[in-house]
Amino acid sequence: MRLNRVHRTIAAVAAATVVGATLAACSGGSEDGGTGGAEGATAEEIEAALQEGGSMTYWTWTPQAEDQVAAFEAAYPNVDVELVDTQGAADNNTELQNAIAAGDGVPDVIQLEYQSIPQFQLPGQLTDLSAFGYADLEDLYTPSTWGAVSQNGGIWGLPQDSGPMALFYNKAVFDQYGIAVPATWEEYVEAGRKLHAADPTKFIANDGGGDAGTVTSLIWQAGGKPFQVDGETVTIDLADEGTQKWADMYQPLIDEELLGDIPGWSDEWFAALGDGTIATLTTGAWMPGVFESGAPAGAGNWRVAPMPTYDGTPANAENGGSAQVVPAAAENKLLAAGFLKWLNSSEESVELFLASGGFPATVSDLQSDEFLSYESEYFGGQKINEVLVAGADSVNPGWAYLPWQSYANSIFTDTVGQAYLDRSSLTDGLAKWQAENVAYGTEQGFTISE
Amino acid sequence: MSAVTADQRAGAAGTPVPASPTKKRGRRAPASRVHLAGWGFVTPFLVAFALAFLAPLAYSVYLSLFRNQLIGGNQFVGIQNYLAAFSDGKFWDGALRVGLFLAVQVPVMLAIALVAALAIDSGRLHGKSFFRIAIFLPYAVPGVVAVLMWGFMYSDRMGLTGHLNDWVGFALFTPYTKQWILVAIGNIVTWEFVGYNMLIFYSALRTIPGELYEAAALDGAGQFRIVRAVKLPALRGAIVIATIFSIIGSFQLFNEPNILKTIVPTLISTSYTPNMYAYNLSFVGQQVNYAATIAIIMGVLTAVIAYVVQLRASREND
């Protein structure tokens, strides 16, 4: 009999733990914090606050952050910046969500990818920096990065870096198999066939269907505008002309098994970049620094070329890139505003950022001779920044991410990713992705048109 | 003999002790002092229990009655989340998947654990301490590490699977395919938890009094007869406990698929198991309320199934 009572308790506890385990960490609580637009300050007031000092927290996963914070504290000895390394965008965003929901431990300044800004801005969780006069900083930054931080009538952050796409290719592999650098996507697919036929262990590209970020950028590059956001109205059309252009180009790569499926950013992936298993990579201009630290074995073999085009007309997109923002619940907004401006516009800070392979968002740095004439040893002495900066000029205008892009990306594998797995139609996968996003957007209170 | 039947029997015996306050007023004081002392002893437990179990549970139920939208904010929606969950194909797909997992993996795992425990207990095994430790060891490996390790072994490019397939000359093992991925997960879970269950069974076996074996031997029972007539009946309680733990574990399936997802993102969906679904909804989709709803439904389902198993076991006992 005692045993049975134990069992009943177990059953009850079972229920409690299943429920509790999932929820212990994610208290909900509504957050209708203000937009922060009310309490503004002038440049003098901010400067005075920085001189007076205090302590603040800064969350980021930028590798250069430690150096930047040290330089800032040297310039403003009374300010104490507590730096928290959030390891990456995913953890960073989750931690911020939790802190905002808990109403406690919200950082004063935090890094956000451009695509994640709307998700925090819409519910009023970010401070409008135009109250500090930061709208005047517009000319410092490239139009696409400024566009990403200024929307819905406010300035929600200052750009840290940008990621115009480029074609990174392994010249050693291309030379070995007599493959020319593809200028069009048609040539690219053909190069993929030739390479894989010559050596079945090598792939023109690695994409196992788990990388929504790259695919959305490729759609952007093809001229697609599947997401349009106008306040609370969101248009989703993953069958528009540009998106279809990408799908038609990409389908043969999937059908003919020309793509590698190594998990991105894994040790295996870096090894494959180093040893030539993956022959090309279409990604953002921030990649060279990652190459150098992650795939040292590939040193000297890699080169940078402009993105392949569909019809010979240069066209490009952005991939990745972040801004720093001030949450609405930040406690030391004056310090935060001062630090943020120093971080992403002062010469001293940007120089530190560039020193270890960062790709800036500031126009003056992008156009400086020193930056453009830099010869990268890893890329065989190529002046890579000339190619990368030129790529920024042809970024297709008018792209927008969904206000729930990180969730949309998470279900990408469930929908579009299935086309990779089954070697089935990308168009069908995109239609499923659209349907799930329409359902989610409706659930979240948006007006959705398709 | 279950608690329920015992209570009924007490009721049937007709010994109601209705409190009659008017008569016993004189003796109330000492009685309540005793009561107070009792409360004093259990209060620390009750406080911990309330904070650790009841509060999160109550909070989850509270959360599940609201909907927090990016546009429109937070509002009370009553049982709407529950209605939505009951017609949510993704949720039920996940629930059915863990149900299938439970129906196949748990019996296999418990059978292996049982055989291992009986073998070690038989006294006929050389180096039994070695086997006991060796079988238990995987349980001591942190779950995440275990999954990563198996994840590599399953890889056709660099793992054990790849080497085996090269050796036989064709793709014999393909754990990373739609057909086999659930089996591959089951294999990891079995590897992790056989030792734990084996230890439960083994310790239950050690409590069997030696006289029973002597008696059995005198009656001329062989080893298999002893297993059937002495050991297995003595293990009944332990088997029920192990089964219930395993049911709970199956319904909470999360670590293994969630980590494998980083290796094979398209094979394992975000709603592969109910816990993964709830996790993705709350941490990525910001739908804490709906995630709470799913967690509560799964909690209730788990409790019901665990209770049914326990009830059946005790009925067979009678």
Say how far apart CA B296 and CA A132 lie, in whole Å. 46
For residues A278 and A295, the answer to whether their CB atoms sit within 8 Å is no
Residues in chain A: 450
Listed residue (A36, A387, A373, A414) closest to A210, CA to CA: A414
Listed residue (A365, A370, A326, A327) closest to A349, CA to CA: A365
Q: What is the dihedral of CA B150, B155, B159, B161, to 10 degrees?
A: 90
Question: What phi, psi does B60 have (nearest 5°)?
Answer: -65, -45
In B207-287, which residue ranges form alpha helices assigned H by DSSP? 210-218, 223-226, 232-251, 255-263, 274-283
Interface of A with B in 28-67 (CB under 8 A): 28, 30, 32
pLDDT digits (tens, 9 = 90+) for A121-167: 988 899 999 999 999 999 999 988 998 999 888 999 999 999 999 99
DSSP structure class, residue A309: B
Q: Which residues of A68-101 are buried (b: 16+ CB within 10 A; e: fewer)?
A: bbebbeeebeebebeebebeebbebbbbbbbbbb
A120 interfaces chain B, CB cutoff of 8 Å: no
When pLDDT is cut at 50, 70 and 90, the band that residue A119 belongs to is confident
Question: What phi, psi does A112 have (nearest 5°)?
Answer: -135, 140
Q: Does residue A13 carry a pLDDT above 70?
A: no
Q: Does residue B48 carry a pLDDT above 90?
A: yes
Query: In this complex, which of A13, A123, A420 lies closest to B266 when CB atoms are compared?
Result: A420
Q: Which amino acid is at A297?
A: A
Question: What phi, psi does A325 have (nearest 5°)?
Answer: -130, 165
Please answer yes or no on whether B262 and A446 come within 8 Å at the CB atom: no
Please answer yes or no on whether B266 and A209 come within 8 Å at the CB atom: yes
Please answer yes or no on whether A28 and B271 come within 8 Å at the CB atom: no
Listed residue (A119, A421, A215, A251) closest to B269, CA to CA: A421
pLDDT digits (tens, 9 = 90+) for A217-257: 999 999 999 999 888 899 999 999 999 999 999 999 999 99
Which CATH code, of 1.10.1040.10, 3.20.20.140, 1.10.3720.10, 1.10.10.10, is assigned to B87-317? 1.10.3720.10
Which single residue is written with the structure tokens 């892009």? A405
Residues 6+ apart with CB under 8 A from A268: A262, B157, B158
Say how far apart CA B98 and CA B96 lie, in whole Å. 6
Please answer yes or no on whether B56 and A28 come within 8 Å at the CB atom: no
Say how far apart CA A77 and CA A70 lie, in whole Å. 10
Interface of A with B in 217-236 (CB under 8 A): 232
Q: Does residue A15 carry a pLDDT above 80?
A: no
Say how far apart CA B182 and CA B84 lie, in whole Å. 27
Say how far apart CA B278 and CA B271 lie, in whole Å. 8
Q: What is the dihedral of CA A294, A296, A300, A303, to 10 degrees?
A: -10
Domain range list for chain B: 87-317
When pLDDT is cut at 50, 70 and 90, the band that residue A388 belongs to is very high
A369 interfaces chain B, CB cutoff of 8 Å: no
Residues in chain B: 318
B51 interfaces chain A, CB cutoff of 8 Å: no
Listed residue (B199, B197, B206, B207) closest to B242, CA to CA: B197
Say how far apart CA B151 and CA B261 lie, in whole Å. 10
Name all domains of chain A by residue range, CATH numbers in brackets: 43-162+320-366 (3.40.190.10), 165-317+376-449 (3.40.190.10)
At B23 the pLDDT is 46
Interface of A with B in 80-119 (CB under 8 A): 94, 97, 101, 119
Please answer yes or no on whether B306 and A14 come within 8 Å at the CB atom: yes
Say how far apart CA B276 and CA B253 lie, in whole Å. 8
pLDDT digits (tens, 9 = 90+) for A48-103: 999 999 999 999 998 889 999 999 999 999 999 999 999 888 889 989 988 998 89
Please answer yes or no on whether A232 and B71 come within 8 Å at the CB atom: yes
Neighbours of B166 (CB within 10 A): 11
pLDDT digits (tens, 9 = 90+) for A161-179: 999 999 999 999 999 999 9
Which of A19, A93, A229, A442 best probes binding to B when mutated, by most B CB atoms within 10 angstroms? A19
Please answer yes or no on whether B266 and A210 come within 8 Å at the CB atom: yes
Residues 6+ apart with CB under 8 A from B217: B226
- CA distances (Å), B229 to each of A124, B106, B224, B236, B316, in order? 69, 24, 9, 12, 16
Q: How far is B26 from chain A (nearest CA, A)?
A: 36
Say how far apart CA B94 and CA B89 lie, in whole Å. 9
Q: Return the CA Rg of chain B.
A: 26
